[in-house]
Every structure is written in structure tokens, then in C-alpha cells.
Structure 1
Amino acid sequence: MTNKVYFIGAGPGNADLITVKGRDILKTADVVIYAGSLVSKDHLEYCRVGVKIYNSASMTLNEVIDVIKKYHGEGKKIVRLHTGDPTIYGAIREQMDELDKLGIDYEVVPGVSSFTAAAAAINREFTLPSISQTIILTRVEGRTPVPEKENLERLASVGASMALFLSVSMIDKVVEKLKKGYGRNVPIAVIQKATWEDEKCVIGTLDDIVEKVKKENITKTAQILVGDFINCKYDKSLLYDENFTHMFRKAKNENSGN
């Protein structure tokens, strides 16, 4: 059996939010290529003595693949450590495609995404009954475009809960598009570096969030959460309703024979 390359989600920031599986693999790796601009260096403390460490922040795709190819050929265990969950804005597909060409086996180990960490930081739930049962993960166009059919105004018009990645540096543009899409003043929160020691949380509405974000000097590494779920009245879940029957519990009125 050939040795694998492991794409591991390191979580949103706090080193303890990597999965047990991810850390166990990291501890035994011979080579670690980590996204140094976003992944906490605290993860590297769990690596074994003598591990080869590369910071991909300054590397191109070809350079990353060359390192993997070199050490895989030597039979080494390689970890590609990504921030959050590697399947969301992780640019891993292009790496996996190159590994497929080389016949190198790999496995993706999921991680805690920054969008869920951001909601946890402000003690909110995206999916509230009668409010929203849909979460849209997206970003506003910048230097990298987005497909026209995924224009932020169009997505906002759905009225679902939203989490915007890679967009806080364009907060004015984001708010302008959201106002047009939602067509009203909705709650919005900006969470910078969720779960890190220097985490910042700003909660407001579309009318005042730009001023609040600029006052806190938040310009990068932040999640933008949008929707009524942040501040609203909602119906309670049927899951724990005493008058609702499901496969694990009968409703009280059924048990009493009423």
C-alpha cells in the first residue's frame, strides 16, 4: 500500500479545535506543509522531533507539489495543513488533481470551519425554525471574481442566513449589495479571528455595521454573518416539543391516552 498525503483541516484558530484524528496524524507526520498565513503555529508543537516543515504562504502550487512529490518518493508521511475546513475556500481540488496525475494517494480530514466558529463566538444558531433553514456560504467579488449567477445581491434576496468569507476588507461594498438584496435593514455580525486569543466580535445592522467595523479597525481574517437569526423572535423546535412524536419519543398527549 502506498503512503498517503493527508489534507487536514486545522480548524478556525484555537489549536484545540483540530479534530482528534487530524492531530493524531499530524503527530506522526514526517513532512508538514502548512498555510502559515492563517494556521496557528501552535499546531506545530505537536509535531514529532525532526519533522520537515514548509510554510505554503510563500509557495506556489508547483512548489507545493514538488515538495510532496520529493518526500512521497522517499516514503515519507506528508500532511498538508489547511485552515478551517479544507473543503471551503481551501484550493485543495487543484492540488488533488495534480496528485492524481502523479498517482499519489491522499485523504481529506475535515475540520471546524470559521463560519461555524464565528456563529459560536456570538452564541447564535444559523437554522432557527420559522426564520431560516438555509445557510449560504459565499464571498463578494474582489480581485477574484464570482460567477454572475452568485452575485451577492441575488443570493441575499433569498433571505437565508449567510456567512461571507474573504470580504471584510470590502465591507462598504458588501453592505451596499446586501441592502439591495434583502431590501431591508437586517442584523449583521463581523467576527475577526474567531477562537483566537485576539478575537473581536461586532454586532449591528446593515445601517451601522460599516461604522462599527471601521472603528474596531477590522480589515482582514473575519467572517461576516448576516440574517435575522442574529436577532429575532422565532418558533421553538418541534424536536423537543412535548406534543410532537418522533421515532425516539411519543408525545405526552399520546402517552396519556388523551
Structure 2
Amino acid sequence: MTVYFIGAGPGAPDLITVRGLKLIQRCPMCLYAGSLVPEAIVAEAPKDAVVKDTAPMHLDEIIEDIKIAHERGEDVARVHSGDPSIYGAIAEQIRRLRALDIPFEVVPGVPAFAAAAAALGAELTVPGIAQTIILTRTSMKSSAMPERESLAILGQSGATLAIHLSVRNIPHVERELTPHYGPDCPVVVAYRVGWPDQMFIRGTLSDIRQKVRAEKITRTALILVGPAIAPQEFEDSRLYDADFSHILRFQAKEKANEAK
């Protein structure tokens, strides 16, 4: 018996991994985060499977269901949105499973920041502009942020920021980041990425607050900040530069010469 923590991806049912989908299709129990996991994904569970939305459940109740499955020798598909390693609340579940000596495995999924970048047709690491992505959030109702991870500190890096769970805190985002990125820095608020009603609000640090307020977005949104989101001019990467040699290109040239 194994508990599989499965990343269902950002919303589109076909963005789940093949491995994750196959596990859902065969596990006798499926526990899923109903507020963010599409019903089409859990509809793939066996017809006689126990399928439960864990959104209204607390941790003890979830672990109790897993214990019941463990006693029966039945695998469990524990389905989370996005990728379970990012704000997935799996650490406390894993701690309980280890204490109970219940085997588990984590199956990665497509994270929201990657899906947002894909939908925008953007690269978040643009040569000469930004080569680092920071995934973070701000303090609201959930657990507090460590002081060393404040936006004021992270913003000093100039990296591309993917700020989760913070759209209602956007005035704070603007206030903390403007001194480091400037008021004209590009910002995109990605709402419900991968869902049929997805929306992208484009702006700058100086006007994004008003634009988000006009659309009445208060949850389920990711904030992307940084010049790499809408670069004006940038250098080509060295990867495909004709004058740049690396081992694979060198080997290809050798093979071509041998074929002559």
C-alpha cells in the first residue's frame, strides 16, 4: 500500500502527467483538493473508488481515511493542484505518514508559474535581464513569512518574482517592490491559469493595483513581477550561438566530418 501525492497541474485536465493520471485511474481511494483540482481529473478514478473532496476536511480526518485504506492494503491517490512541493501542505501529511510507517511517493505536477509563463508565451529567465526565479508569497491569513524572506529583501535581487497567495495584498507588493524594480516594472496577474475562465491582467507596479481592483480579483491568482516578463531588448543566449562551442556541438561536428 502506498499514498501517492499527485500534482494535478494548474487546471487544464490534460496538463496532469501520464504517471499521475494512471495512478488516479487505478487507486481504490482518491482524496483531492476540490477547490482547485478539476472534476474531470478525479472522474478518472475507478467507478467503485472512494472519492472525497478534502477541502472541508481537517488534517486528522484526512489521515484517518488514509489509515483505513492502509489497513485494507489499498493505494491512495492524494491529489493536489499544481505541483505538491509548492505550497502543497504535504509536509505535515508526510510527517504523519512517517510516524504511522505508511509508505508514500510524490508525483510532480506542472506548477502555476510555469503554466502562466507558457500561456503568456514568455521566458522568465532572459539573458542579461534575469536568470533567477523566486517563488514566494506574502503574509496574510496563512502562516507567517520568515523576516529574511520579505519582499523588501527578495526584491533586492532583481529576479523574476512569482508571488503566490497574495493578490489581496497587492498594495503591499507594490509598496515593497517599487524601490527595487521601479514603478514601470512589468507585472502580470494570472487568474485561474489553465481553467476555462483564466484571465491575465497586465500592468506595471504603478497601476496594477487599480487594474486588479477593477476586475474584482481576490483569490486564485499568481503575481509575476520583473523586467523579464516583457523585455524590450536583450541579448541572444549563448546556447545556439554559432561561435559558442560545447561538447554536444563538438561531437556533432566530429560526426559530420567523419561522414564526409
TM-score under structure 2 length normalisation: 0.93
Counterparts of 2:224 and 2:133, CA distance in 1: 10
Q: Contact 1:4/1:104 (CA < 8 Å) preserved in 2?
A: yes
Q: Tell me which residue corresponds to 1:43.
A: 41
- The 5-angstrom pairing of residues 1-258 of structure 1 reads 3-143=1-141, 144-232=143-231, 233-250=233-250
Q: Give the ranges of 4+ consecutive aligned residues of structure 1 lying more than 6 Å apart after TM superposition.
A: none
Counterparts of 1:177 and 1:142, CA distance in 2: 15
Secondary structure at the counterpart of residue 43 of structure 2: helix
Secondary structure at the counterpart of residue 9 of structure 2: coil
Q: Contact 1:140/1:152 (CA < 8 Å) preserved in 2?
A: yes
Secondary structure at the counterpart of residue 131 of structure 2: coil
Unmatched tracts of structure 1, length 5 or more: none
Q: Contact 1:152/1:181 (CA < 8 Å) preserved in 2?
A: no
Secondary structure at the counterpart of residue 248 of structure 2: coil
What is the CA distance between 1:42 and its match in structure 2?
Answer: 1.1
Counterparts of 1:148 and 1:182, CA distance in 2: 20
Q: Contact 2:192/2:198 (CA < 8 Å) preserved in 1?
A: yes
What is the CA distance between 1:184 and its match in structure 2?
Answer: 4.6
What is the CA distance between 1:250 and its match in structure 2?
Answer: 4.1
Percent of aligned pairs with the same amino acid: 45
Unmatched tracts of structure 2, length 5 or more: none
Number of residues of Structure 1 aligned to a counterpart in Structure 2: 254
What is the CA distance between 1:186 and its match in structure 2?
Answer: 0.9
Secondary structure at the counterpart of residue 157 of structure 2: coil
Q: Aligned-pair RMSD on alpha carbons? A: 1.9
Counterparts of 1:217 and 1:62, CA distance in 2: 35
What is the CA distance between 1:183 and its match in structure 2?
Answer: 4.6
TM-score under structure 1 length normalisation: 0.94
Counterparts of 1:192 and 1:150, CA distance in 2: 24
| CA offset digits 1:66-103 (Å, max 9, x no partner) | 00001111111111000000000001011011000111
Counterparts of 1:240 and 1:216, CA distance in 2: 41
